[in-house]
Chains A and B, each alone.
Chain A
């Protein structure tokens, strides 16, 4: 039996861009040749620039986005499912075991269903519970764990605050006891106290049920606290990946360094010591050759600057992977 739950092998995802019907189609390279393994029972963090492909990668792993090349394997107890080549029956099984918490709950929650029905839906569709009573009990249990008021379960989603809606989608993802969860910016709309509650709940489920997470977030302090391993994305590529503490203590890639330096201080008098990124923000329609970060890198070497390097992760310390251009550079 594999110690990994998910293997992502050389995965790329492209989207089409077309100005209008007559103009020629171009490709948006959203995700480029990604390789990651997610261990069973681990909290795998994914951080990086807005638009770098995190949501796309998460959705591809769930079979919710087409994969242009490469494959994703889900290692269940006895069976390996290849998501790029999966039959309908197996996909149905997989969907029971893997859940997505959407980045934008507003778009994900059906406006015409009550919150009770929204949370209960996975139980009913998958026929997990045997009676209405049992369903209601599970809904109430998970709703209160997600800090929702039980009096409000008969309401429709529009009558909630942004953070309450976010907790509804967390409850819906957790209610069926899945094995794997992609949590996409799932605590971004919560105040830090309720956020701490929800994170403690997710950690508890990780320990008790061996639940595995792909945790996508811009909040680096949160990621540092909950994740075991963190991968950093920039323009479709993973540029660095390491056990969480190593990454935050000793970042090696120039983009990671810039990112960590930009965390805003909660001391108003402590004005930023952020590494400023100048230069043109590159486009996924037309990514730079060589290192994708070179157009904004504060200290590229000549080879980088001219786009003469080739990207790819290498292991610089046990478990600490960095893009090879950057390692050779410094």
Chain B
């Protein structure tokens, strides 16, 4: 069976005054129906840009490589140009929960009206039905007095209510593919658990596929089937969630897990990964992590290696430089 989504060899560059900036380099990922792919990684490593590529939502100065493919339901969405086609990937088959909720609600339109409007665009239903679906969804994400909140503007909600309203909006159209970009950053852990359970229920019921981007490794452990770890535009490691969290192979993944604050050991200092983040204008040749790696071999150190994932255990892929390095 073919995948629900397959991203092949994607590069994303931005054309700026500073020059061409590589935000994403040679990414390949796939998702099946009913599967959750978690993406973790450094802030600025290209997670949101990757997700937005699937909906063609990156800004006007974006350059994609010619041979990149993003296949959704057997169509290459990077080739979509007509309004009709774009509608399919922007709210039809694909919905996105954006990282910054304020950015996705128009300030002068009540949140309920925005929810109804987008349902009317994508579903063959009337206004009353759209309203009742929306209110029901607001209730399911734990918003009390949903009928009243439906009538408020985004700025009148708390940060986490806004985020939940956006989750409700994205789920209400029952997309085939959900792109959830840091969807729970503004939620306390009890409501977070409720929202995650809701997403899991809908995955089961509708066989929805999900890309779940988050910095919260606990959330990843609880929702994801597979995980991809990104650093400076590249996927450096990917595999089943259990493998990545319990048996990480790449030094960046290991560093990330070591930086995690441990609530059971408050005397431990917080341990960031040492070294500076390279400028995207000055991407290291060879392994992208070599400027911060605790033990690069000579080949790595001189930038003489070539990146590319290889399978080290069934389903567990790691950058080949690292494997050859030992």
A244's nearest neighbour on chain B, judged by CB, is B266
Question: A50, A199, A258: which contacts B186 (Cβ < 8 A)?
Answer: A50
In this assembly, does B101 line the interface, its C-beta being within 8 Å of a C-beta of chain A? yes
A158, B59: Cβ atoms under 8 Å?
yes
**Distance in angstroms between the alpha carbons of A67 and B41 in the assembled complex:** 41
Type the 1/0 row for B183-225, where 1 means its CB is closer than 8 Å to any CB of A: 0011111111100000000000000000000011111111000
Residues of A within 8 A of B191 (CB): 49-50
The number of inter-chain residue pairs (CB within 8 angstroms) is 212
**Distance in angstroms between the alpha carbons of A259 and B266 in the assembled complex:** 18
Q: How far is the CB of A175 from chain B (nearest CB, A)?
A: 20
In this assembly, does A3 line the interface, its C-beta being within 8 Å of a C-beta of chain B? no
In this assembly, does B106 line the interface, its C-beta being within 8 Å of a C-beta of chain A? no
**Distance in angstroms between the alpha carbons of A218 and B158 in the assembled complex:** 13
**Distance in angstroms between the alpha carbons of A106 and B16 in the assembled complex:** 21
Residues of B within 8 A of A220 (CB): 189, 263
Q: How far is the CB of A295 from chain B (nearest CB, A)?
A: 10
Residues of B within 8 A of A272 (CB): 193, 222
| Chain A: interface residue total (CB-CB under 8 A) | 78
Question: A161, A191, A274: which contacts B40 (Cβ < 8 A)?
Answer: A191
In this assembly, does B270 line the interface, its C-beta being within 8 Å of a C-beta of chain A? yes
Type the 1/0 row for B233-274, where 1 means its CB is closer than 8 Å to any CB of A: 000000001100110000000011101111100100111110
**Distance in angstroms between the alpha carbons of A198 and B308 in the assembled complex:** 32
B263, A221: Cβ atoms under 8 Å?
yes
**Distance in angstroms between the alpha carbons of A50 and B148 in the assembled complex:** 17
Q: How far is the CB of A257 from chain B (nearest CB, A)?
A: 11
In this assembly, does B303 line the interface, its C-beta being within 8 Å of a C-beta of chain A? no
In this assembly, does A195 line the interface, its C-beta being within 8 Å of a C-beta of chain B? yes
Residues of A within 8 A of B246 (CB): 267
Q: Given A17-B148, A248-B263, A274 and B272 touching (CB < 8 A)?
A: no
Q: Given A104-B159, A225-B261, A265 and B218 touching (CB < 8 A)?
A: yes
* 18 further contact pairs, Cβ within 8 A, besides A149-B280, A158-B59: A20-B151, A51-B157, A107-B102, A161-B48, A161-B49, A185-B186, A191-B42, A196-B261, A218-B160, A218-B185, A220-B263, A221-B263, A259-B189, A262-B189, A262-B190, A263-B218, A267-B221, A269-B242
